[in-house]
Structure formats: structure tokens, C-alpha cells
Amino acid sequence: KWNEIPLAPPDKILGISEAFVKDTNTKKINLGVGAYRDNNGRPIIFPAVKEAEKILYGLETEKEYTPIIGSKKYQNIVKNFIFNNSNKDPNGKKLIDEGRIVTSQTISGTGSLRVIADFLNRFYSSKKILVPKPTWANHVAVFNDAGLQPEFYNYYDKSANDLEFESLKSSLLSQPKESIVLLHACCHNPTGLDLTPEQQDEVLQIIQDKSFYPLVDMAYQGFASGDPYKDIGFIRKLNSLVVDGKINSYALCQSFAKNMGLYGERTGSISIITESADHSKAIESQLKKLIRPIYSSPPIHGSKIVEVIFDEQYQLLPKWLGDLDAVVGRLNTVRSKLYENLDKSSYNWDHLLKQRGMFVYTGLTSEQVIKLRNDYSVYATEDGRFSISGINDGNVEYLANAINEVIKK
């Protein structure tokens, strides 16, 4: 029967890296996968992370399993850092103190999405999950595989290179009550364009009116402003609505892959905000029951790095915040350098300057992206998303010239 198994297509994003590696052109540029590169085109380890690893080397005396949902220490760090905005959100503090936040370490952001999708499929009233159009391709795959039914709500108008907020609202309003709705916390992937705080309020009103279940995905905390504490406005709004009794519950998938550079360490979390400490107990027990037969317990190295960075005695937190700010600063520099070098006489590139995070959503057609690949060895996903950390002083002019040429034809 094995000969009846059809060949699966390569992953839309990771497949690009495979093609890139095979290309022998010395000018080739990889703008595919969302992983940070420095100005020399090389991946980095955040200096604060390297220091944390040195400390861990001296500290660790065993490699025992961590509990199914990770260590209490890790859970508490995540809760305070994100929901209490490190002691700056009284609503988040109240929710934590009342035992209304259940947090589990997960296998990074993807694992977190899969765990909550499985959980919602098992316990929630609706299978329908509304995702922005476009969204990270893996969202749809994860939710489908978990048995949920993803459906798009309008988000971005590709012809105008802008949010389409009116049709976003109407497409949400046309959906059945109690649907799950996925929202990107910041640095929407792939468009780099987020809702304004006022637009967030309007969406939150729709969520209340339609009794939608909010599921927030936060993979790029810190990449919008350079400061992770400033990028969680949406979570603060949700916390306040929960405390006021206007929303009963929401869930947050979070990852340290990008903002601590812990990609391969697979370090993230799922948090579910509940109605009471009693609910929390039951939900936590069910999360454990769900995770145990899948991977038993999460990996420990990444979460221990997080624990050391947040441990006051080592003074690494400010260093990490500085490292992150430098990464985001470079991305912003690269974004404006690309903009400067693009030919604005035949194409309006202003949308680039509004976008935030690791990507620019160029608006190029798939034909143009393919032409960039074939003629210039510039690799990007066919939706015209560029992972801009692949750009540096050495290649920005070559890239802009290639784009200018491709636009002309």
C-alpha cells in the first residue's frame, strides 16, 4: 500500500530554504523564512541568551523531565511578564491572583497553537475558527489537522496594500455566534500591518456582541515597537474586559522563538484565561491529559534560559531587552534602506513604511516573485512576503535593483 501514498508538496516557506541552498549564484538572497540574520547575513544568538547559557552550564546538575505543563517557575514568569506586563497591569495581576490564568509551557508557538486547537476541538461549543485573510499558512494547517474548521475573515486588501477594515468588520459580523476568532497580537504575519487601538476596540465589541472566543497568537512580541512591554496593548484590553465581566475567557499562544532568538529551542506557552480558580483547576488537568500522550513534557533548555534571564539575581533582563531592541532597530533600518532604493516613479511603495516586524508584504504578484527567483536568485514566498532580515548593507542595492527591474516588465 505504501506505493499509493502521493508525494506531498514541499512546505511553502521551508521549501524555499531548500531551493535557496541549491542555488550556486553568489548574489543569492533568502527572504523566505522568518528567522533573524545580522548585517553580515548570519544567524545570531542573543548575547543575553549566551550569558544565560553560561550560567546554566554551571548551575545545572540534572536533565530530569520537567512537568507536563512545564515548571511552575516558567509558568509564573510567563504569567507576570505577559498578563501583568511585569507588574504594570492591575487587571492582569488580579486575574493571576485570583487563579484565573492557566499557563503551560509548549513546544514553541506552533505547539501552543496545536495544543489549544486540540483543546478547543475537545471542549468548545463551535469548531469554526475565523482567521485573517491572509494569515501565516501554518495556522490553517494546524487548525485543520486538529479538527477545527478554519474560515477566513477579510483583513488586507492586496490591491490597495492596506487593511480593509470595513470589510473585516462585516465579514466577522456575518459569522455564526460563538465562533473562535484568531487575532495576531502584533506584527501580523504576513502583512506587517496591525489594527490600531481604536480598531482593536471595535473588533473587541464585535467579539462581545457575537460571543466569539478570542484566540490571540503572539509570535512577535517586541517587534512592533522594539519593546515587548509596549506590544501587548491588545492583551491589556482583553484583560480589562475579562475583569469587567464582558468576556469570560480567552486564550493566548506565545513564543520566545523570535524575541529571544530561541527558534530551535522550541520555547513557548499557551495560557487560558478562565472564569474562576475552579475552572482553572479542571482546565489545567485537561491540558495535562491532552499533552501527555502527544509529547509527554516539553524540552527544558529553552525554558531554563528564560528562567535565568528573568531571574533578578543575574541582571540579564535589561540586557535581553537591549538585544531585542537592537534586532528590531536593524530591521527598521533595513526597511527604510530598501524603501530608499526602490523606484517610486512607477510604483507606490509607501505601504512598506507602515508595516512592522520581520516582514514586508510587498504587493508583488507571484509571477514577479518567481521572476525574482529565476532571474536574480532572490527567494521569497509567492505571496510577495519578504523576510527582511535577509537584507543587509551588502545586498540591499542589488535587491532593490532586481525589484525595480521586475516591476518594469
Residues designated as active site = 136, 217, 258
30 interacts with ligand PMP by CB under 6 A: no
Between CA 364 and CA 104 the distance in angstroms is 39
259 interacts with ligand PMP by CB under 6 A: no
Amino acid at residue number 187: C
| Residues in a beta bridge with 181 | 130, 214
Rule CB under 6 A: choose which of 255, 280, 377, 381 binds ligand PMP.
255
Rule CB under 6 A: choose which of 109, 132, 233, 299 binds ligand PMP.
109
102 interacts with ligand PMP by CB under 6 A: no
SS3 helix, strand, coil % of the chain, rounded to 5? 45, 15, 40
CB of 155 to ligand PMP, least distance (A): 13
98 exposure class (CB count in 10 Å sphere: 0-12, 13-18, 19+): middle
In DSSP notation, 257-279 reads TTTS--GGG-EEEEEEE-SSHHH
How many residues make up the chain in this entry?
409
226 interacts with ligand PMP by CB under 6 A: no
Rule CB under 6 A: choose which of 66, 75, 80, 108 binds ligand PMP.
108
Question: Which of the ranges 173-181, 255-263, 278-286, 385-393 carries the binding residues for ligand PMP, by CB under 6 A?
Answer: 255-263
Residue 404 has which C-alpha cell? 525595480
C-alpha dihedral, 154 to 118 to 202 to 255, nearest 10°: -90
Rule CB under 6 A: choose which of 89, 194, 217, 265 binds ligand PMP.
217
Q: Tell me the number of residues near ligand PMP by CB under 6 A.
A: 13
Question: Which of the ranges 18-26, 106-114, 270-278, 290-298 carries the binding residues for ligand PMP, by CB under 6 A?
Answer: 106-114
Rule CB under 6 A: choose which of 48, 77, 219, 235 binds ligand PMP.
219
Contact indicator for 302, 262 with CB cutoff of 8 Å: yes
303 interacts with ligand PMP by CB under 6 A: no
272 exposure class (CB count in 10 Å sphere: 0-12, 13-18, 19+): buried
Grouping H, G, I as helix, E, B as strand and the rest as coil, residue 205 is helix
104 interacts with ligand PMP by CB under 6 A: no
CB of 268 to ligand PMP, least distance (A): 5
In the bound complex, which residue of the shown chain has the CB atom lying closest to ligand PMP?
109
Contact indicator for 320, 260 with CB cutoff of 8 Å: yes
106 interacts with ligand PMP by CB under 6 A: no
CB of 157 to ligand PMP, least distance (A): 20
Between CA 71 and CA 77 the distance in angstroms is 10
Site for ligand PMP in 151-190 (CB under 6 A): 184, 189
Residues 6+ apart with CB under 8 A from 405: 375, 376
Question: Which of the ranges 49-57, 103-111, 173-181, 193-201 carries the binding residues for ligand PMP, by CB under 6 A?
Answer: 103-111
Buried b (16+ CB within 10 A) or exposed e, 303-321: bbbbbbbbbeebebeebbb
Q: Output 184 or 330, the one with its CB closest to ligand PMP.
A: 184
Residues that bind ligand PMP (CB under 6 A): 34, 108-110, 136, 184, 189, 217, 219, 255, 257, 263, 268
